[in-house]
Amino acid sequence: MKFLPDQIVARLQTGMQTPDLSGTRYRALELLGHGGMGTVWLAQDSILQRPVALKVLAAENSSADLAARLMQEAVVLARLEHPGIVPVHDAGTLADGRTFYCMKLVEGQTLDHYARKLPLRERLRLFQRIAEPLAFAHSRGIIHRDLKPANVMVGPFGEVLVMDWGLAKVMAATSASSATGQVSEHVTDATGLSSTGTQVSGHEFTRAVQGPFGSGALAPENSTAHGTVLGTPGYMAPEQERGEVNLIDQRTDIFAMGSILQSLLQEPPGSPEGESYSRPLRAICAKAMSAEMSARYASVQELAADVGRYLDGLPVSAYRENIFERTARLVSRNRVAVVLVLAYLFMRLLFILFSRR
Amino acid sequence: MSNKIVLGLVLGGVLGILDGLTAWFTPAVRAGIVGIVFGSTFKGLIAGVLIGVFARKVHSLALGILFGLAVGAFLAWIIAFMQHGYYFQIMLPGAMVGLIVGYATQKYGASSQLQRA
């Protein structure tokens, strides 16, 4: 038996989710997305007169643990001041008791949507730029743990932003971690829970708006798995899948970067097999995604540098090429010089042949 | 990457030697091969230095190639003028050597500022 029409139920649900922003400088405008932990709202900052994004803990999830987790996520983000990481402007508790934080509103497309129409070399350059904020985070002792194309946004001016640090892990013994005083002795999740505590995954919140690149979908394609295992299937390193939280370090993110690279190498259906199937690129993916952590790249910079070497026509560390491949690469890299020398030799040969007549 | 002038000098010299040695295949001039190789090498070295200096001053692939072509052709013309003949056989390879050196110095030569850094 149905008492209320669906539209009214939907409006009531939205009304319940709408955060009580009274007493704050923000005014909720539009629901951008929702996930396992909370909702993200487009809001207007009434003082600075600019649109912002508010991540608010869902009313039904307002437990102390999740509130601490959201706050820890804000703290992690605040610690990561980098052009490739969304800046946090504000954080606190609303009048209705829900925890929130305010961040820059990111408009653009997720990597998987954006990269679809790019040629391979552009995709690889984009990949290198994802590595920059990640390397910065690693240098601050923070591991993302949920890297995937849906968590990378490309803005209207081509700016690359790594999003959703909700599952980030703060490594111990870093200057940054000691600053907060909220980090356990060994490892602490962005949840603020120790590695042995209950772990709940988050969801990404991405907004794709109509812009110069067209429109994109609001809903994420891959949702983060729930349970003791944190991350997204298909992008999780083996140690992450096994729930070996203490083993997780930057090489776990490197595995995910390898998965992202692999997804970027996939050509759209129907397009011919081209450079993306080159052995060095496959070898880079394979090295980054090694089951053995020690066999992976030691740092994300090394991975990006190998991709850069490929782009520059240089040998990559992940692949030992044979003499024919090496020659082909050198010829390809110095095509004009080879053509000039060959033209010179051909001309000389003609001169010799004609002089003998 | 080596210095543009050094690269021009080395490349001009090597190509000059090779250019001179090919005269061995022309029976009419085989007797004077030593003089031809020396002359050709000297011409290559001068062309290499000039093209290298130009590459250091002007950072343009097209202009570098054009300058190399012009210098190579001009120096070869002087040689051909002194020989009273073989203009085509001397000027075409000379111009091509200049072109190759011009391309190489622009493409592969490192500027001295970069080397100091």
For the stretch B55-110, pLDDT in tens is 999 989 999 999 999 999 999 899 888 877 778 888 888 899 899 999 999 988 77
Hey, where are the domains in chain B?
A: 4-112
B-chain residues near A336 (CB < 8 A): 103, 107
Assess B30–A contact: CB distance below 8 Å, yes or no.
no
At A54, list the tokens.
Answer: 């508010």
Hey, where are the domains in chain A?
A: 12-311, 327-355
Decide: A216 and A113 in contact? Cβ < 8 Å.
yes
Q: How far is B113 from chain A (nearest CA, A)?
A: 22
Assess A352–B contact: CB distance below 8 Å, yes or no.
yes
For the stretch A178-206, pLDDT in tens is 333 333 333 444 444 333 333 333 333 33
pLDDT score for A174: 46
Mutate to test the interface with B, among A346, A351, A354 (most CBs of B within 10 A): A351
With CB atoms and an 8 Å threshold, state whether B22 touches A348.
yes
Could you say which of B28, B100, B108 has the minimum Cβ distance to residue A341?
B100
Assess B69–A contact: CB distance below 8 Å, yes or no.
no
The residue of chain A nearest to residue B20, with distances taken between CA atoms, is A348
Q: Is A166 helix (H, G, I), strand (E, B) or coil?
A: coil
Assess A346–B contact: CB distance below 8 Å, yes or no.
no
pLDDT score for A251: 95
For residue A92, what are the β-bridge partners? A100
The residue of chain B nearest to residue A357, with distances taken between CA atoms, is B26
Q: Which residue has the higher pLDDT, A150 or B110?
A: A150
A-chain residues near B99 (CB < 8 A): 340
Helices A120-139/A300-311 angle, 10° precision: 160
DSSP A123-157: HHHHHHHHHHHHHHHHHTTEE-----GGGEEE-TT
pLDDT-derived band at A82 (thresholds 50, 70, 90) equals very high
> How many angstroms separate the first and last alpha carbons of chain A?
104
Cα–Cα dist B115/B117, whole Å? 5
Assess B99–A contact: CB distance below 8 Å, yes or no.
yes
Could you say which of A347, A352, A356 has the minimum Cβ distance to residue B96?
A347
Q: Of A50-54, A198-202, B20-24, B31-35, where does mean pLDDT reach its minimum?
A: A198-202
Q: Which residue has the higher pLDDT, B107 or A34?
A: B107
A-chain residues near B105 (CB < 8 A): none
Cα–Cα dist B59/B2, whole Å? 15
Cα–Cα dist A58/A33, whole Å? 12
Assess A342–B contact: CB distance below 8 Å, yes or no.
no
For A316-334, what is the mean pLDDT? Answer: 90
With CB atoms and an 8 Å threshold, state whether A352 touches B89.
no
Cα–Cα dist A302/A85, whole Å? 20
Cα–Cα dist B112/A12, whole Å? 71
Assess A350–B contact: CB distance below 8 Å, yes or no.
no
Mutate to test the interface with B, among A341, A344, A354 (most CBs of B within 10 A): A344
State which of A173-177, B4-8, B30-34 shows the largest mean pLDDT: B4-8
Quick one: CA dihedral A66, A68, A71, A75, positive or negative?
negative
Decide: A174 and A185 in contact? Cβ < 8 Å.
no
For the stretch A90-137, pLDDT in tens is 999 988 888 999 999 988 899 989 988 888 899 999 999 999 999 999
Span A12-311 CATH architecture: Orthogonal Bundle (1.10)
With CB atoms and an 8 Å threshold, state whether A337 touches B27.
no
